A and B are shown apart, each in its own frame.
Chain A
């Protein structure tokens, strides 16, 4: 497969690779890389997220060339990008909606991991690196949202930085330190801009570690059983490059729909009003991808406890590999967990709905129940179900399971697809 052809080009590549073994590494990791042959489309979301990170960095770098990080000019410079800069509107809408798309992809990727037990031994660090990426993404998105210096930008910055004032004794000092002043102001905007530019590159580095950890044992798969030999795998190229590309095409259709037909659907109209430090908008909501955390924060009547639980809801993900006591990875073979998983999906969606609505009446009750369930799910149900549930028998190997579903006759053809490559 893919031998370097003799010829000038090949010789140059060989010369370089002998001194800098990079081409060979790419060849190994992206071309031959043995991948479980039964991956479904749920396994597209990792590579899609990676592509989205690149899109965000590229659009972001070009926006940075037009943006002015100063409290007096930031809002106007964003409007100038929208009105006067050639294709500025497209770059900004691609960046703005790109953040939403990036989170949507990562959340699906995360729930995929939860359903198929992708965090279990030996992929615990892979999972933890993923959670670190999520936290870095949240920080980056929050600071990016502040940059246009609209009303929502300003008050989101105020409310979120004020979360740290819940820390006893030193809280207010920390908040003043974060602001670099006595309110959110120009120093705050400047440092947020610097960090918003820096963090994506740190994310890129963590993504690289995420990939190294992934390639150590390879992808998990819908059956959740290990690859035991060439009959269970396909080379990454062309089988999964083409599958990922098809997924990318579908994703780009959805992404483009938002950019070109509903660019402000996911945003908040109040952010087109310039920041006014003397007037709070009547109804403050974060972007949709942060609503569940916001709902948890509001559902607790105690300020400090609310802050602890909102942060805790993310940090909880770090210990998921150890909370789940079941030895079986895939929910396909876990008759109880299979259903309980969907309760979590509904629960998070309910928290999103609660976060989007003013805290009155039913919203408060639903918020408190959903917050309670979120923690019960991970801290009580996860360990308990793993212990009590009787998993269904696992197939002998990926190959037998895949070929059985395709008809008994094809069982003999084990390993045949490899011959094609």
Chain B
């Protein structure tokens, strides 16, 4: 009993002792220490600096004919570049936005209407849709068709049918000249 009374005098509230405070602070400091030790291990798994350094791709679009599609690699992923015909542009622009699963006007997806630049990775589970080569199945909307699970994209790379939740992603890019672009 004498011990308890003495501890209560040193602590603020009844029932709390200096030992409680010591345990709490020691545990908290310990937890911070453990977290700080674990972090370098976790962070080491993030993309390394040399991987990040490969992050821009530049190219000249002049040789790409009207109606031709070109695939280039950026960050190891295929980038689909489509020199769209006026009919394809019209088809992409005339779509009623309420028909779309991931509504986005065509104008928000291009910098110059005849050039569509998108990441050619299906937003479902990461397969590469067909439609880049002549003779490929482009699906009923004339865009791209993913053979893995049957997602269908239109001429603006927007999802129209199938399990994919979102449109093909537009990468960050800019026109550095009339026909030259820098992706990334």
Q: Which A residues have a C-beta under 8 Å from some C-beta of B? A: 155, 158-159, 161-163, 165, 176-183, 185, 187, 191, 277-280, 282-284, 298, 301-304, 306, 359
Contacts and interface: CB of A to CB of B under 8 A. Distances in A.
Interface string B115-130: 0000000001111100
A280 B128 contact: yes
B67 interface: no
Interface residues of B, number: 25
B51 A158 contact: no
Given A161-B126, A179-B47, 6 more contacts: A158-B125, A180-B46, A181-B47, A298-B149, A302-B165, A303-B124
B150 to A, nearest CB: 7
A143 to B, nearest CB: 14
Interface in B146-170: 146-150, 163-165
A177 B127 contact: no
A191 B48 CA distance: 13
A277 B76 contact: yes
B45 A182 contact: no
B125 A163 contact: yes
Interface of B: 45-48, 51, 55, 71, 73, 75-78, 124-128, 146-150, 163-165
The list of the 5 closest CB pairs from A to B, nearest first, reads: A182-B75, A183-B76, A162-B126, A280-B127, A162-B125
A284 B47 contact: no
Pick from A163, A176, A185, A303 the residue with the most CB of B within 10 Å: A303
Given A282-B147, A298-B149, A359-B150, A180 B126 contact: no
Contacts of A177: 45-46
Contacts, number: 77
14 contacts: A158-B126, A162-B125, A162-B126, A176-B47, A179-B47, A180-B45, A182-B77, A183-B75, A183-B77, A278-B128, A280-B146, A283-B147, A301-B163, A303-B124
Nearest to A155: B127
B76 A181 contact: yes
A159 B51 contact: no
Contacts of A306: 163
A186 to B, nearest CB: 9
Contacts of A302: 163, 165
B28 to A, nearest CB: 26
Contacts of A181: 47, 51, 75-76
A170 B127 CA distance: 20
